[in-house]
Chains A and B, each alone.
Chain A
Amino acid sequence: MKPRIASPLTAAASAALTSAALAAADSAAVAELLAKIKSADDAIRGPAWQNAGPLGAPAVVPLGEVMTEAHFEIARSARRAIERIVRHAGRPGADAERRAVAAELVKLLDHASPNVRKHALWMLSEIGEDPAVEPMAALLADPEVREDARCALERIPGSAATAALKKALATAPEAFKYALAHSLRVRGEKVEGYPSQKRVPTKPTRLKGA
């Protein structure tokens, strides 16, 4: 029997259906993950965050929301689920997954909670590439998370991160410029002024000396 040849219209419809089915499956899996992570029972919550890795990009932003839960163990589980996703997506050869996860993490950089913004920055420090640099660098002006933004950018290879740190050095508050200069030096850049403060003591004891 001759194989049937699908018409272009049928193939497109089939692809759309497949895509919709996959999206629905993703959505169901993410919903199940979130429900389990919100459980007060760590026997349910624990395995859920520990196996979150393959759920990938669609779970990142919803988990960011769960990080703001008042129950500290639930919030911590969401945080760790994001770490699992990032470490899974960062495996060699998973470029598309990694970029998709990084794009979702970038969305969390605008989150109202500084804890969520910080976590997104540190996660991007592991897998972020040039497209993440500009939104990360915007947080160098955010007093609540600028130190985390600096650290995260310090870790990202490439000229875009270096350029972002240099640009910030020109406009940052004076006290923060020392930290930015440090990051640039770590990356092999020469920086005029702002010598290292690392060995300058600042915290005297209240105890009486000998």
Chain B
Amino acid sequence: MTHRNIPRRRFLQRSGATLIGLGAAGLPQLVPARVLGAASGTPGAKDRLNIAHIGVGGMGNGHLGYMLARQSRGEVNVVAVCDVDENRLAAAVKSTGGKATPYRDYRYILERADVDAVVIATPDHWHAVQTVHACEAGKHVYVEKPACCTIEEGKAMVRAAREKKVAVQVGSQGRSQREAFFAHQYIANGMLGRVHTVKCWHYATPSDDHPVPDSEPPPELDWDLWLGPLPWRPYNARYLHGVFRWLLESGGGQIRDRGAHVMSNALHFLGADHTGPVSVETKGRVPTRGLWDSAIELEVTYQFKKPDWTLIWAQPGEMVPYPDRERVKREGIREGYGAVYYGDKDKLVVWVGDGQVYTEPKALDYRPPPDGVQVPKSPRFDHHEDWFEGIKTGRKTIMNIEAGVATAFLCVLGNLSLICGRKLHWDPVKQEIVGDEQARRLMSRPQRYPYTL
């Protein structure tokens, strides 16, 4: 963000200095923490970021709790919370001890010069628009997965983050987990040989077996703002909260919800973030009734070239039970999803894939030789910490926007192949569908004004 061509940070320094002169104590929301804490040697103050949370239910509530814990250690300031559901918003304000300013409309937050970074945990159909707007406003972004709902949204996110040089972390946190690091290290050092196939498994998407008619939205909800970029339609209780995941427009089913974890790890472990498949073919069974239209069972085959490998997303697929049953009980291991990596020398199982990642002892015990491949590791195996380091140092985050979008494209293309009822061909360099005009048009979804990219 700039003010009359003054780079944002310099503008903040200048305005902060002026405000201190005017008596900054009365203007706490206008002065960035780094300016107030400019006294060198003040622990944590110099680099303390002002964070705003957009979407504070579900995962958003988890992020808020995490940041409040950091705030209690003097590491960040949670200065604003935002939600279109006033009940959730009120609960979030309360959890901050009444210290964070509440907003219904995230755009007020983006106008605040003192906000350094935003955490976006809204339904999927908002991720791209809010990320692009936040980047344009010069804010660093942590955005929940999947990054985007359409191909054009993903491209816009990458452009915005690059142009504004902000750190974006997508919330596929599996990459940051300890056992994911060991699985990655094992695979990257060739212990499986050439990996030719990755088979994911995941339990089915639920169906709406008790459909209800459209109705008036509850008074605490701004339905228009919940819909945002989506075409307007009457409220239906089956859209929210949480269950937006089971609608193609706003969630996309398990392949987008958990595929954004499990397939993110596959791209990461195989060093394939910068690539994409050349073809995508989907078979599936969709619900016969109800509002939710995501496939219950699904099998998507992605064919990659140069190097050649096949990625299969299967609901339910072939689940591999985690062998240590006591640990499953003790730690609540969600073994209902994961992936098997098949190489020409061996195979490796990686269970779960999000905030939980588990793998086999052979990978955990493996140590690469001194000249072996060194794979990235998030500080303290903490996905948020990796984001903060990206903000501080300018280095790429482990689930940077390019990687997040590459993963989301797999999810999007899998669903597109299903709704079109045919195999799709993809140009991974141009990142576009080829030879199918209708599917090409479906790479974008025009958005309801003014909730546009």
A interface list, Cβ under 8 A from B: 42-43, 45-47, 50, 53, 72-73, 76, 80, 83-84, 87-88, 90-92, 118, 122, 125-127, 147-148, 150-152, 154-157, 178-179, 182-183, 186, 196-210
Contacts and interface: CB of A to CB of B under 8 A. Distances in A.
A154 B452 CA distance: 13
A210 B446 contact: no
A90 B111 CA distance: 43
A151 B447 contact: yes
Given A91-B438, A92-B435, A196 B104 contact: no
A203 B86 CA distance: 12
Contact of B102 (A43, A84, A178, A209): A209
Interface residues of B, number: 55
Nearest to B136: A199
Interface string B265-299: 00000000000000000000011111101000000
A210 B435 contact: no
A199 B101 contact: no
A151 B446 contact: yes
A73 B102 contact: no
A42 B452 contact: no
B367 interface: no
A201 B225 CA distance: 11
A122 B419 CA distance: 15
Contacts of B133: 198-199
Contacts of A125: 441, 446
B108 A92 contact: no
B286 A147 contact: no
Contacts of A157: 441
Nearest to B291: A76
25 contacts: A42-B288, A45-B289, A46-B287, A46-B289, A72-B214, A87-B419, A87-B421, A91-B421, A91-B436, A125-B441, A125-B446, A126-B441, A126-B442, A147-B448, A150-B449, A178-B450, A199-B136, A202-B107, A203-B105, A204-B103, A204-B105, A205-B86, A205-B89, A205-B105, A210-B93
A207 B105 contact: no
Contacts of B86: 205-207
Given A88-B421, A90-B420, A92-B436, A152 B107 contact: no
A87 B214 CA distance: 26
B166 to A, nearest CB: 15
Closest 6 CB pairs of A and B: A46-B288, A90-B438, A151-B446, A201-B107, A179-B449, A42-B289
A42 B324 CA distance: 43
B288 A72 contact: no
B52 to A, nearest CB: 12
Identify whether the interface residues of A are mostly helix, strand, loop, or mixed: helix
B102 A207 contact: yes
Secondary structure at chain B's binding surface: helix, strand, loop or mixed?
loop
Contacts of A186: 446
B102 A50 contact: no
Nearest to A154: B446
Contacts of A84: 421
A127 B438 contact: yes
B437 interface: yes
Q: A84, A127, A200, A209: which has the most chain B beta carbons within 10 Å?
A: A209
Contacts of A76: 291
Contact of B438 (A87, A196, A199, A206): A87
A53 B420 CA distance: 10
A53 B108 CA distance: 46
A182 B450 CA distance: 9
Contacts of B290: 73
A151 B449 CA distance: 9
A186 B150 CA distance: 15
Nearest to B212: A72
A151 B441 contact: no
Contact of B288 (A47, A196, A203): A47
A151 B211 contact: no
A149 to B, nearest CB: 11
A178 B101 contact: no
Given A155-B446, A196-B452, A210-B96, 15 more contacts: A45-B288, A46-B288, A87-B419, A91-B436, A126-B438, A126-B442, A150-B446, A151-B446, A182-B449, A198-B133, A199-B110, A200-B107, A201-B107, A203-B222, A205-B105
A186 B99 CA distance: 40
A69 B317 CA distance: 39
A210 B102 contact: yes
Contacts of A91: 420-422, 436, 438
A203 B104 contact: yes
